[in-house]
Structure 1
């Protein structure tokens, strides 16, 4: 028996990105119907797959081997009550299957008896043939020793460990793992749900549960009305998924969907990335995270004895971790905040005000196109946020980065690029060095023009003004449609 699977679940079972399966479908190598694929077609496409090599199986083995480790129980395994409820749901499904099988068995027996009765009263070759077919079919079923569908077995196990959530109206999907809330799981998967405090007070993460079961895991003070409860509304920050869910959820797709915020964050770390670039790591309060889209910027401000130091910087981290904000700040004599950071570095625990977010340099989440990222120097900061968000959202296209540097240590996080390339089958990168931003723009544009079908890609460009102007003008002149080009001057 072949099991129908969603692409997200199939990718999880095989331990491959969803984009890889979508490429197989586009090439006609994997049949698909209404977004579903069959387990037998997957095993035909991956005949040598070993479940012990798949990411999902590896996770299960890790749980098994460290079953008594508190960290694993808290972060990977659901709590005992959720596990029990999921097992109860699967038991109910198994009992339903058994009931249907019993009904079919009674039907077949009744049909066999009726054929015998008809043969006694009015014999016919047709009835005799029907009786032989029925007996042969039953014998074949009873004698069958067909091995269990490996993917179906693994899917049954994973449904106990994780719950799949489908979102309306966007059609996006994600998985709830461990003891995380539905909101935490959505953010981890690169979605942009509506939310505010994340501790059950504001009600902004309210969503309607269309189908499936949830369970409250965190207290909340927001008063849901009787009408809202009757319609299935719940706070995503306070509930986890017991079974697979279908929910109606508000998502932010445009910068205008994100409200302006003011957050007072603490310095967690200041560390050198190169001789002229510092990493500033800020951490927001648990009760007041910064909601933003990948690629956006904020204003950082700190007051001195007589001066207020301010600066605008792109966020270099993924919105999926909204509490930890990373910034790549270069030495700049014309930037008062950077001067303050380099001359008298902040210490852990120092307070910095964060205002924002702002900026239109964001991902187009519904695109199926391959995506090309072009960066120069610290233009890598917003590009890093975009790449991490695209990977978390499991966008179907290929991701390619070309990073130019105008100084010897300009590729200050190339180890991060290597890690992405090793971990993501859909990501690749290239680096180059140029004498100045304009020359970097020319070199990067030449590299893009040599790529096949570059006019069909979504292109994101970030860096100094000379780099952005040269690269974008060259690409537009070469035929890249303006609607596929987005850029940000850093």
Structure 2
């Protein structure tokens, strides 16, 4: 029986295909069981992406030729015009033949080899009632840029949670002297298989699988002032990003940090922020803003939503700032609206949305 007929009848076929990115462009090998995005990232190509799970639409590209198997419905993320032009989500498309796609590659993107390794839990430290500081030692050294994230996967012996994985941003800048050390701030998500296991059953000495780094959220070189906005565990990449800025001699830029939390009991990492303050040579402003603090509490700081205070804090220079935001999507979307209405160019706005396991998207849960 001819191989092609056998493949049609029994479903087997080539294990890899050619993926051409732009014409002229780069051609890489794509495994039949891996997405087009993974194939591109594994070769260090600056393909645009964020969540890797079909939730953000950042990896959309036009399928010029070839066939793919699409793992999820793309119509809720792509416009009618994009669907008509044969756009696909690279992170949700498996090659079924040689493929050619067109996409605008990322400018100023960071690229490090993606490592798949095991990592041992070295310490578990509660920061609040629902945020845990997880310190780990990886078997293999990792190189990453502050602002990127890794995927953690529960070990096989963890029962019902085995194999469950979620993505979390690195909470410290990369330390070349300790390349195997990685830290995360992880928020407990009710009903989230990974965090339910982590908070209830994980112990120092246990091993997890780790893959990364991923993402292109990073500090861009500039002389412009910086506004950093963090909500919940979104403080992790903001902290790492600012530590990296100090190492990279960018600490002379004016800096405003806005940290959104529900109550004073939900604030954490204040010592780390104070350490950044002591090493920051430019103007430094830190404003925690509480959205649900009891009326009669002794809290003297700002209350309400972060968007209630943005224009007041940044003033007339709002359009000059470069904005870096990490946290819940509603917070980020609301801030983006204030920034754009205030005249801040979209090219100066950078963010990483943290979605829990109940949504289709990126880090958390």
Which residue in the other structure is 1:141 paired with?
A: none
Q: Deviations over 1:280-304 (max 9, x none)?
A: 001123xx21111110111101222
Which residue in the other structure is 2:115 paired with?
A: 261
Runs (4+) of structure 1 exceeding 4 A deviation are none
Of the three residues 287, 290, 308, the one matched with 1:430 is 287
Q: Matches of residues 71-470 of structure 1 in structure 2 within 5 Å?
A: 254-255=109-110, 257-285=111-139, 288-303=140-155, 304-306=158-160, 307-321=162-176, 322-347=179-204, 349-364=205-220, 366-395=221-250, 396-426=252-282, 427-435=284-292, 440-448=305-313, 450-470=314-334
TM-score normalised over the length of structure 1: 0.45
CA contact (8 A) 1:406 1:440 kept: no
Which residue in the other structure is 2:36 paired with?
A: none
Tell me the CA shift for residue 318 of structure 1.
Answer: 0.4
Whichever structure has more helix as a proportion of its residues is: 1
Q: Deviations over 1:242-286 (max 9, x none)?
A: xxxxxxxxxx9523x22222121111100111111111001123x
TM-score normalised over the length of structure 2: 0.59
The residue matched to 2:217 in structure 1 has which SS? coil
Tell me the CA shift for residue 481 of structure 1.
Answer: 0.5
Tell me the CA shift for residue 359 of structure 1.
Answer: 1.5
The residue matched to 1:329 in structure 2 has which SS? strand
Root-mean-square deviation (CA, aligned residues, Å) is 2.3
Tell me the CA shift for residue 444 of structure 1.
Answer: 4.6
Greater Cα radius of gyration, structure 1 or 2 = 1
The residue matched to 1:391 in structure 2 has which SS? helix
CA contact (8 A) 2:187 2:232 kept: no
CA change 1:378–1:447 in 2 (3 A) is: farther
CA distance in 1: counterparts of 2:260 and 2:159, whole angstroms: 39
Which residue in the other structure is 1:485 paired with?
A: 349
Whichever structure has more strand as a proportion of its residues is: 2
CA distance in 2: counterparts of 1:261 and 1:411, whole angstroms: 33
Aligned length: 233
CA distance in 2: counterparts of 1:447 and 1:375, whole angstroms: 18
Tell me the CA shift for residue 482 of structure 1.
Answer: 0.3
CA distance in 2: counterparts of 1:389 and 1:253, whole angstroms: 16
Mark the runs of 5 or more structure 2 residues left unpaired by the alignment. Answer: 1-43, 45-106, 294-303, 355-365
CA distance in 2: counterparts of 1:440 and 1:313, whole angstroms: 24
Tell me the CA shift for residue 400 of structure 1.
Answer: 2.3
CA distance in 2: counterparts of 1:451 and 1:466, whole angstroms: 23
* Greater relative CO, 1 or 2 (CA 8 Å, sep 6+): 2
